A and B are shown apart, each in its own frame.
Chain A
Amino acid sequence: MSAQIRIAVSELRLYLREPAAVAATLGLPLLIMVSFGLIVTPGGDPIYTYFPGLAISFSLAILSLNLLPTILAGYREKGILRRLYTTPVHPSKVLIGQLLVSCAVAVVMAAVVVVAGRLIGFPLPAQPLGFALAFVLGALALFSVGLLVAAIAPTGRMATAIGMLLFFVNMFTGGVFTPREALPGFLNRIGDFMPLGATMQAVRDSWNGQFPQLLHLAVLATITVVFGLAAARLFRWE
């Protein structure tokens, strides 16, 4: 087994040992689908797509804006990355390992949402290709933002604080806390350009059968490239 895979497996094990992390990223999406699936009658009015959108967006936001920056900045603060720099394995492997775990959790989460939703009575995403595209681009954009936070935050606590701020701003403007339908137009306009808002809307559109708006996909792709490159440039191992 390569060092990269061993590190990823190790990171996965550490993730699974954090009950709060597992509950927020896998448990809560499942709970959202099951509970709202029982309360509302999915189908018909496209408002029902709010619930799978909420489950997916919330979990991605926790993974990318909370866990990723807190863990990576914490590793740097604790000297774990620096220590690795003196071994034959470059510390970037920890960063990649952490990203691999985040991607794996995200994929499992999306599968849980789709399957549990189907079992409880939600329709499957009506535009599967668009859904896959919205999900992948949304996850990449959000992870890029999280990596940039980890890159620029001087301490683990600062990374958590910045991440939480971004989390709430994104949840609020993105139509995740409250459905887009209930928000004023100017907030929705802002949300269109936020990583979580664009993800939320693209997921909802595809679930309802429309191909995601080009605007949202373009916003997500741009954020991925710009924030991803900035994070790669600015990331410090110590």
Chain B
Amino acid sequence: MIARSIPRKGLPGDAFPMAVIEVEHLRKRYRDHVAVDDVSFTVERGEIFGVLGPNGAGKTTTVECVEGLRVPDAGAVRVLGLDPHRDHDALRTRIGVQFQESQLPEKMRVREALQLYSSFYADPMDWRRLLDDWGLADKANSPFGKLSGGQKQRLFIALALVGKPEIAVLDELTTGLDPQARRDTWGLVEDIRGQGVTVLLVTHFMAEAERLCDRIAVIDRGHVVALDTPAGLVSKVAAEQRIRFRPSVPVPDGLLTDLPEVTSVRQVGPQLEITGTGDVLQAVTSVLARHRIVAADLRLEQASLDDAFVALTGRKMEEVR
């Protein structure tokens, strides 16, 4: 929407060089339910954009409309200035896709898969280099069925990149991976962006979105409930903060409760637990300092993206799975 209303400078013939994906009021219903009700977002060139939400929120349907696999019931989707469905042939050479739960024939070897997929493109990446880049060189002759989860995932990312895409769509790429493999994969996604590829990342892992994404659209029940940077999302909802410490001497009544930033003070054993908003930590520590009270074992509990999700949707991520 912004891309349309605000003129941008750019190369001739490329009306909106910065926005590579534009989704406006997307709506898609299946026979029995509305998968996507009203989703809008814009992805800029070179960013890692996250689509975050619980399973069944409409994430995959949204990106399938971006990939041209589904036709929206209403709204508009533009990818690289093209209609993903009508201009599918033009777009297919410019986007790379990794599906949730992808597979290959069990007995197809890693080398063969990369070789075959690279032959589909006019100007592919060197598949031997992809083997090296993605740590698959020693698995080149292994059949797909014998690969570990992490190796399969790396192969699919390599296959998504073999056509030198401008946009890579990665759907739930670390689901089913152990924590170490997940971390390794995150590093690889950052490498993709480092090569100038725009990444559209679909995930239901908070930590993944927090770590990787420049911006995140939080989707719940077919709607975008928030769109911001990870830090922005957290700060928006992190109204309530909690401070715990052990005071060196008893704190007089009213000393802290009179502060406008403080909403409650509670004694928990030897510790005080203070909740408040805004710059509550600064306010509390300066009052304590003025009264020469030392706050031992001081801890500040800050909101995470998990808390942000709860605040935005009124539900925990686990509950809706």
A87 x B92 contact (CB < 8 A): yes
B107 x A86 contact (CB < 8 A): no
Q: A3-B119, A10-B116, A88-B120 are in contact. Are A79 and B102 (CB under 8 A)?
A: yes
- Chain B residues 92-108 with CB under 8 Å of chain A are 92-93, 95-97, 99, 101-105, 107-108
Report if A14 contacts B (CB, 8 A): yes
Report if A17 contacts B (CB, 8 A): yes
B120 x A85 contact (CB < 8 A): no
A88 x B105 contact (CB < 8 A): no
Question: Measured between C-beta atoms, what is the minimum distance from A176 to chain B in Å?
Answer: 30
Interface size class on chain A is 20 to 34
Q: A88 to B164: give the CA distance in the assembly, Å.
A: 12
Report if A157 contacts B (CB, 8 A): no
Report if A1 contacts B (CB, 8 A): yes
A79 x B99 contact (CB < 8 A): yes
Residues of A within 8 A of B119 (CB): 1, 3, 6
Residues of A within 8 A of B67 (CB): 86
Q: A78 to B104: give the CA distance in the assembly, Å.
A: 7
A7 x B108 contact (CB < 8 A): no
A83 x B97 contact (CB < 8 A): yes
Q: A98 to B164: give the CA distance in the assembly, Å.
A: 28
- Chain A residues 77-111 with CB under 8 Å of chain B are 78-80, 82-83, 85-89
Report if A75 contacts B (CB, 8 A): yes
Report if A45 contacts B (CB, 8 A): no
Q: A6-B119, A75-B105, A80-B105 are in contact. Are A86 and B92 (CB under 8 A)?
A: yes
Report if A18 contacts B (CB, 8 A): yes
Q: A168 to B308: give the CA distance in the assembly, Å.
A: 60
A86 x B116 contact (CB < 8 A): no
Residues of B within 8 A of A14 (CB): 105, 107-108
Report if A13 contacts B (CB, 8 A): yes
Q: A89 to B122: give the CA distance in the assembly, Å.
A: 11
Q: A1-B119, A87-B117, A88-B93 are in contact. Are A10 and B102 (CB under 8 A)?
A: no
**Contact for A86 among B95, B108, B121, CB less than 8 A:** B95
Residues of B within 8 A of A89 (CB): 120
Chain A: CB-nearest residue to B121: A88
Of A6, A82, A88, chain B has the most CB atoms within 10 Å of the CB of A88
Question: Measured between C-beta atoms, what is the minimum distance from A86 to chain B in Å?
Answer: 4
Residues of A within 8 A of B121 (CB): 87-88
Q: A75 to B106: give the CA distance in the assembly, Å.
A: 11
Chain A: CB-nearest residue to B122: A88
Residues of B within 8 A of A86 (CB): 67-69, 92, 95-97
Residues of A within 8 A of B95 (CB): 86
**Contact for B99 among A1, A75, A83, A87, CB less than 8 A:** A83
Question: Measured between C-beta atoms, what is the minimum distance from B132 to chain A in Å?
Answer: 22
Q: A87 to B99: give the CA distance in the assembly, Å.
A: 13
Residues of A within 8 A of B101 (CB): 79
Question: Measured between C-beta atoms, what is the minimum distance from A155 to chain B in Å?
Answer: 13
A10 x B108 contact (CB < 8 A): yes
Q: A13-B112, A86-B95, A87-B92 are in contact. Are A3 and B120 (CB under 8 A)?
A: yes
Chain A: CB-nearest residue to B68: A86
A87 x B163 contact (CB < 8 A): yes
Q: A68 to B69: give the CA distance in the assembly, Å.
A: 25
Q: A86-B95, A86-B97, A88-B121 are in contact. Are A10 and B112 (CB under 8 A)?
A: yes
Residues of A within 8 A of B99 (CB): 79, 82-83
Question: Measured between C-beta atoms, what is the minimum distance from B121 to chain A in Å?
Answer: 6
Q: A208 to B68: give the CA distance in the assembly, Å.
A: 56
Residues of B in contact with A (beta carbons under 8 Å apart): 67-69, 89, 92-93, 95-97, 99, 101-105, 107-108, 112, 116-117, 119-122, 163
Residues of A in contact with B (beta carbons under 8 Å apart): 1, 3, 6-7, 10, 13-14, 17-18, 75, 78-80, 82-83, 85-89, 238
Given contacts A14-B107, A86-B69, A238-B69, 16 further A-B contacts (CB under 8 A): A3-B119, A6-B119, A10-B108, A17-B107, A75-B105, A78-B103, A78-B104, A79-B101, A80-B104, A86-B68, A86-B95, A86-B96, A88-B92, A88-B121, A88-B163, A89-B120
Closest 6 CB pairs of A and B: A78-B103, A86-B97, A89-B120, A17-B107, A87-B120, A6-B119
